[in-house]
Chain A
Amino acid sequence: MSNTASLRPQPVASEHTPLKPRNVAFDWADTPLHWIPGDPATTHTINVLHLILPAGERWFVHVYKQALPHIRDPRLREDVIGFIGQEAMHSQAHDDVLPHLKEQGLDPAPYTAQVDWLFEKLLGDRTLPPGRARKWWLLERVAIIAAVEHYTAFLGDWVLNAEELDARGADPTMLDLLRWHGAEEVEHRSVAFDLFVHLDGGYRRRVRTWATAFAALVFLWQRGVRFFMENDPTLLDGKASFKEFVRAGRQGVLPTAGDMARSIPQYLSRAYHPSQHGSTTQAIAYLAGSPAATAAEARTKGGS
């Protein structure tokens, strides 16, 4: 490993910050089904997060618990421990939205039960002999997580800057969930990549797992939007369409297709390091004023 170290991309040191999970809680009682008023297509495109993340981030935690004993760098170890707790809270927070969707007539269970299968079975531990096979599967999954985290950091950075959502009167509780989550994704955006580089870092593995992760995300998202649009009880003839997606990107309520396309060569560049994109300062500034994060802070300080 040491002979390739000098070729490795260097992180931007000032972007590093100590990580801690925040004990947030959200009250969904007042959040409408279409929480971006008058825009069900965009609402549901973002809602797909609630379908994928509970199982997905729970899986991150599961995989990282297994990676922990292999870490030999104490600072990375601290980062990974903070990362695990933050991801666990993201999973819980998005999971709590699902019963609210069901109450509003949009039962997510058919979709989430299949996502559960994907992460628990297809990407689960499998019956592998201890030794090389088990280690290979762990490294493969660590690399997939690094690729997915490239996109969560991209989305986190986007939502912190998506002023158009405020301008459209999007529900403040949902916006706080997305931005608390997004800010923590920006805060810890280097951890998954650093762990991958620490344990393996092979370029071929990076490309291969990026392709897997990207294809899976496109598949899950496309099916998710379609699922929501077709089952939304308030839409007579709900359909997901690519045209809507492009339209929302132009209006600033979703990331633009161009920005998404540009994020691909970023990750595949040999000089890539997550700390080169996004702003830790902005993330910390948001968390300092986030209703959920400040309430969590008060709860932690109060002791009970």
Chain B
Amino acid sequence: MPRIPHAPRLRTVLVVTAAALAARRALRGRIKGSPLWPMPALDHPISGQGREAQAGARAHRLTVVERVAEAAGVIRLRLEGADLPDWEPGAHLDLVLPSGTVRQYSLCGSPATPGSYTIAVRLIEDGRGGSQEAHELLHEGTEVTVRGPRNRFPLRDSHAYVFIAGGIGITPILPMVRQAEREGIPWRLLYGGRSRASMPFLAEIEKLAGAGADRVTVVAEDEEGRPDLAALLAGAPPHAAVYCCGPEPLMDAVAALLPDAPEGLTLHTERFAPATPSPTAENAPFEVELRRTGRTITVPAGTSALRAIRDQALPDLPYSCEQGFCGTCQQRVLAGEVEHRDGLLTDAERDDSLLICVSRAREGGRLVLDL
């Protein structure tokens, strides 16, 4: 009697064990290739894309290995570190000063020098304190954190270049001139400054100009007054690319002259905009159109767009930090030029969105939001 049930039991155990082993093997194989099997992966993953890397803002710790007085009130710093990303002319770094203040400086060395970055810093006595700190605290051996490089001022291909630099604005222009020279593309440079003594990189620029060439015009204001921008632009080859960096009035003047200049000139400028301006920065009133709500409201001076929209139209609008870092209040921009004042969004995100808790319309502008 007892022998009959035993045989099928053994067989059942064997079959079940074999099936379990096979299933475990199959499962292991699947989990190896797909850690959360049976879940699929998101087509365009979001996590771990490196927001900082996307923003070109991976942090590197560098050491100041050289500090040279480049001109009156200007120091040139060479920073060394390991595994530094490549860069192209026009790129800048975010330099995190010992106090935590972040300032942007154009790279003015040679992109072909791996392992080091060169920047130049002009001391601005009545500035916001960043340049003073750099002059006082950055010495050979000092460690600093930098993010970047990023390039918002890239040198596009062109058959001819016109470069215009004012003072410390020479820093992004200098690597551009070198590259144009190396590639044999015709270029001209107008370099203006207060006095020759205060203008960095003069010697190198005059050397680049070569013997007898009229490619470089150096205009020191204390000797020759303001540079003749109109003459420079009038003599530019048609369809040349104009790259301009310097004080705001200089760039405005160039932009104003452009319509009268030869056909097809394209203007590229770089403003030294602060990454996160102080709360006392200009807070002019502006209008916001809420497209989906169908209303337009005025954001008063000194009030954030977030507050104004919440008070006047949409009380349930989400927000949190109100300082431009948590990202909760991000909204889509349908039209209008934004002055971004947050410390979070990547360049791509800035193209069509803003953080309404801190950012505003560009001077005299108006924004249309998808709200």
Q: Is A11 located at the chain interface by the 8 A CB criterion?
A: no
Size range of the chain B interface in the assembly: 35 or more
Contacting pair A302 B51 (CB below 8 A): no
CB proximity of A304 to chain B, nearest CB, Å: 5
Q: Which chain A residues lie closer than 8 Å to B320 at the CB level?
A: 21, 81-82, 84-86, 88
CA distance A92 to B50 in the complex (A): 9
A107 to chain B: closest CB distance in Å?
9
Shortest C-beta distance, B272 to chain A (Å), equals 14
Contact, CB under 8 Å: B101 / A120: no
Q: Which of A94-102, A132-140, A159-167 contacts B (4 or more CB under 8 A)?
A: A94-102
A88 in contact with B328 given A20-B321, A68-B316 (CB within 8 Å):
yes
| A95 contacts B48, C-beta separation under 8 Å | yes
Could you tell me the distance in whole angstroms from the C-beta of B144 to the nearest C-beta in chain A?
A: 12
Instruction: Tell me the minimal C-beta distance from B27 to chain A in angstroms.
Output: 11
Find chain B residues with CB under 8 A from A15 CB. Answer: none
Contact B321 A21 (CB under 8 A): yes
Report the separation of the CA atoms of residues A303 and B325 in the bound assembly, to the nearest whole angstrom.
Answer: 12
Query: Given A27-B61, A109-B48, A295-B100, do A84 and B318 touch, yes or no (CB 8 Å)?
Result: yes
Per-position 1/0 for B36-54, Cβ under 8 A of A: 1001111001111011110
- A113 at the A/B interface (Cβ < 8 Å)? yes
Report yes or no: B101 in contact with A54, Cβ–Cβ below 8 A.
Answer: no
CB pair B36–A115 under 8 Å, yes or no, is yes
Report the separation of the CA atoms of residues A14 and B106 in the bound assembly, to the nearest whole angstrom. Answer: 52
Please tell me if the beta carbons of B321 and A29 are within 8 angstroms of each other in the complex: no
The minimal Cβ–Cβ distance linking A146 to chain B, given in whole angstroms, is 19
Docked complex Cα distance between A98 and B50 (Å): 7
Of B60, B99, B318, the contact of A302 (CB 8 Å cutoff): B99
Q: Is the CB of A302 within 8 A of B101?
A: yes
A81 to B279, CA, bound (A): 22
B368 on the interface (CB 8 Å rule)?
A: no
Q: Does chain A have a CB within 8 A of B271?
A: no
User: Which of A200-208, A219-227, A244-252 lies at the binding interface?
Assistant: A219-227
CB distance from A303 to the nearest CB of B (A): 4
Q: Tell me if B195 is interfacial: C-beta within 8 Å of chain A.
A: no
A110 near B35 (CB under 8 angstroms)? yes
Q: How far is the CA of A115 from the CA of B36 in the complex (A)?
A: 8
Number of residues from A at the complex interface, CB < 8 A: 54
A224–B36 Cα gap in the complex (Å)?
A: 8
Q: Are B31 and A226 in contact (CB under 8 A)?
A: yes
When each residue 149-175 of chain A gets 1 if its CB lies under 8 Å from chain B and 0 otherwise, what string results? 000000000000000000000000000
- Alpha-carbon gap, A220 to B31, bound state (A): 12
**Contact A99 to B58, CB < 8 A, known contacts A23-B325, A88-B326:** yes
0/1 interface trace, chain B 311-343, chain A, CB 8 Å (1 if under):
000001011110101111000000000000001
How many angstroms from the CA of A98 to the CA of B3 in the assembled complex? 61
Is A65 a contact of B41 with CB atoms below 8 Å? no
CB distance from B271 to the nearest CB of A (A): 16
Known contacts A118-B36, A302-B100, A304-B101: A61-B58 contact under CB 8 Å: no
- Pairwise interchain contact B48-A304, C-beta atoms closer than 8 A: no
Query: Which residues in window 71-97 of A have CB below 8 A to B?
Result: 81-82, 84-86, 88-89, 92, 95-96
Q: Are B100 and A85 in contact (CB under 8 A)?
A: no
Contact A120 B42 (CB under 8 A): yes
| A31 located at the interface, meaning its Cβ lies under 8 Å from any Cβ of chain B in the complex | no
- Give, as a whole number of angstroms, the nearest-CB distance from B233 to chain A: 36
Complex contact B327–A88 (CB within 8 A): yes
A58 within 8 A of B: yes
- Please, how many angstroms separate the alpha-carbon atoms of A230 and B326 in the complex? 35
Which chain B residue lies CB-closest to A69?
B316
Bound Cα distance A21, B272 (Å): 29
Contact partners of B275 in chain A: CB under 8 A: 304
Is A299 among interface residues, defined by CB-CB distance under 8 A? yes
B12 at the interface (CB under 8 A from A): no
Chain B minimum-CB-distance residue to A299 = B100
The closest CB in chain B to the CB of A122 belongs to: B39
Q: Is the CB of B45 within 8 A of A304?
A: no
Which residue from B32, B42, B51 sits with its C-beta under 8 Å from A114? B42
CB of B113 closer than 8 Å to a CB of A: no
Given A113-B42, A298-B100, A304-B278; A223-B35 close (CB under 8 Å): yes
How many angstroms between the C-alpha atoms of A96 and B47 in the bound complex?
9
Some 5 contacts from A to B, beta carbons below 8 A apart, are: A20-B321, A29-B61, A111-B36, A115-B47, A116-B41
Give chain A's interface residues, CB within 8 Å of chain B.
20-21, 23, 27, 29, 51, 54-55, 58, 61, 64-65, 68-69, 81-82, 84-86, 88-89, 92, 95-96, 98-99, 102, 108-118, 120-122, 220, 223-224, 226-227, 230, 295, 298-300, 302-304
Can you name 14 extra interface pairs (CB under 8 A) apart from A65-B328, A89-B326?
A29-B60, A65-B318, A68-B318, A69-B316, A81-B318, A85-B326, A113-B42, A114-B42, A115-B36, A120-B42, A120-B46, A223-B36, A302-B99, A304-B102
- Show the binding face of B for A, using Cβ within 8 Å: 31-36, 39-42, 45-48, 50-53, 58-61, 99-102, 128, 145, 274-280, 316, 318-321, 323, 325-328, 343
